[in-house]
Amino acid sequence: MWRYSGNQMKRWRTKANVSREQLAAASNYSPDTIKSMEQGVRMPTPRALDVADELCRAEGLLSAAKEYLQREKFPVRAQDFMAREREAISLWWYEASLIPGLLQTESYARALIENRIPALDQETVEERIAARMERQALLVQQKPTVAFSFVLYEAVLRSPQTDVKQLHRLLEASRLRNVALQVLPFERAFSDALMGPMVLLETRDHERFAFNEGPFASELSADPEVVSRVTDRLSMIRAQALSPAESARFVERMVDQP
């Protein structure tokens, strides 16, 4: 929809012999911003659509696109996973480098999102942070209660971004009846545990999905072979990790360290 609306804005502008610079000046945007909207890189704003509609004499056809455009809360590569996450009745999550989004404090999330390369505009940053905080309601929803199992590699806890407030947040989450939180210490790690994050979820329809997230691409798969392989790896990681009680004591000792 972003690309289509931007393309229509460009077509109407060209048909009306309105330059990109003229539209930019009239709508108080830079020509580069208008270009990114026309190319579908950035969502056309209501102001840009209204100004283009008037300048290009589109008789409301461009302005009508406003009600169909809504900024996505999550990156495109994660949207399928987020949809399945909302349907989950159980979720196993292993992280080798970052705190899972469902357990992050706002300050931790901000540190990650604000330092993306290339940088996000501030409006997108705030929307992404708010969306991440909203997701955490899944941990405490009552109907139905979702079973969560998190395993964190010790490196996640030793990261500079993981401050005392974030450690307290982990302890708080671990006390929920439907949450199991485990730590995989350095000395118990094995090769598969160093290959990156893995998530396994089951929906209310008892469909099982495996999710692997990378820096440039992510994959949500229902392929039984992939799901089986991820299940085996997660089961081994959970078996090697400290028990939930031992893990809580591990995190508490980190909190108490000077």
- What pLDDT does 117 receive? 81
- What pLDDT does 52 receive? 94
Name the nearest CA neighbour of 98 among 177, 185, 166, 176: 166
pTM: 0.72
CA distance 198 to 211: 6
Phi/psi of residue 145, nearest 5 degrees: -75, 135
Under DSSP, the state recorded for 10 is: H
> Tens-digit pLDDT profile for the chain (258 aa)?
778 888 999 999 999 999 999 999 999 888 988 998 898 877 888 889 999 999 999 999 999 888 777 655 656 556 678 888 888 999 999 999 999 999 999 999 999 999 988 887 887 888 889 989 999 999 988 666 889 999 999 999 999 999 999 999 999 999 999 999 999 999 999 998 998 899 999 988 889 999 987 766 678 889 999 999 999 999 999 999 999 999 999 999 999 986
Count the alpha carbons within 13 Å of 146 in the hemisphere toward its beta carbon: 25
- For residue 107, the SS3 value is helix
- What pLDDT does 124 receive? 80
Beta strands at 198-203 and 208-213: parallel, antiparallel or unpaired: antiparallel
- What pLDDT does 169 receive? 98
CA distance 139 to 141: 6
Beta strands at 147-153 and 88-95: parallel, antiparallel or unpaired: parallel
What angle separates helix 122-135 from helix 106-114, to the nearest 10 degrees? 140
- What pLDDT does 155 receive? 97
Beta strands at 88-95 and 218-221: parallel, antiparallel or unpaired: unpaired
Classify residue 28 as exposed, middle or buried by CB count within 10 Å of its CB (0-12, 13-18, 19+): exposed
- What pLDDT does 95 receive? 96
Beta strands at 179-184 and 147-153: parallel, antiparallel or unpaired: parallel
- What pLDDT does 243 receive? 97
